[in-house]
């Protein structure tokens, strides 16, 4: 569990880093390109970004899904994030969300994955509220944020 939290924290840090830095579009070395091609065969509209020439971000579409993948300069895939439809969540997560938040509907789902571990950030919409819930593949839920609609 500690490893999962560490890997997901690293993925979130990488995501946050790209949000606040001024990334620029770039080309990547052969190691990164090789790993990308092996990992994401069929990717379309691929664009590469970096802000430090150490970590590289690929943004692309695969099977009609927006995906972001993070690589280091050695070509190692560090983590991915992608938008999911509600029905793509694990069934135990959907079941627990329905029990714990019966008066809400799933508005948005983002999956963060590193290695074999994945976390899901689920935005739930209620009549007067937005709730952001973090879930793991085992169905564990934790409220990250609860907001009232304006």
- How does pLDDT run across 41-72, given as a tens digit for each residue? 999 999 999 988 899 999 999 999 999 999 99
pLDDT, tens only, 23-35:
778 889 999 999 9
Helices (H) and strands (E) in the chain, counts: 3, 9
CATH number for region 2-82 = 3.10.450.360
Strand order of the β-sheet with 24-25 is: 24-25, 44-50, 55-62, 65-72, 77-84, 105-114, 117-125, 129-136, 141-148
CATH number of 85-148: 3.10.450
Domain with CATH 3.10.450.360 in the chain: 2-82
What is the arithmetic mean of pLDDT over 114-137?
A: 96
* pTM of the predicted protein model: 0.78
């Amino acid at each position: 569990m500690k490893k999962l939290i560490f890997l997901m924290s690293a993925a979130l840090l990488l995501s946050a880093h790209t949000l606040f830095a001024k990334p620029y579009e770039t080309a990547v070395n052969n190691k990164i390109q090789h790993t990308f091609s092996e990992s994401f065969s069929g990717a379309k509209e691929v664009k590469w970004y970096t802000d430090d020439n150490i970590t590289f971000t690929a943004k692309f579409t695969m099977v009609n899904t927006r995906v972001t993948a993070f690589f280091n300069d050695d070509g190692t895939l560090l983590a991915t994030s992608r938008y999911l439809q509600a029905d793509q969540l694990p069934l135990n997560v959907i079941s627990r969300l329905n029990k714990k938040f019966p008066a809400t509907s799933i508005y948005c789902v983002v999956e963060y994955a590193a290695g074999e571990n994945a976390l899901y950030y689920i935005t739930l919409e209620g009549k007067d509220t937005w709730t952001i819930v973090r879930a793991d593949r085992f169905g564990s839920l934790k409220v990250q944020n609860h907001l009232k609609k304006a």
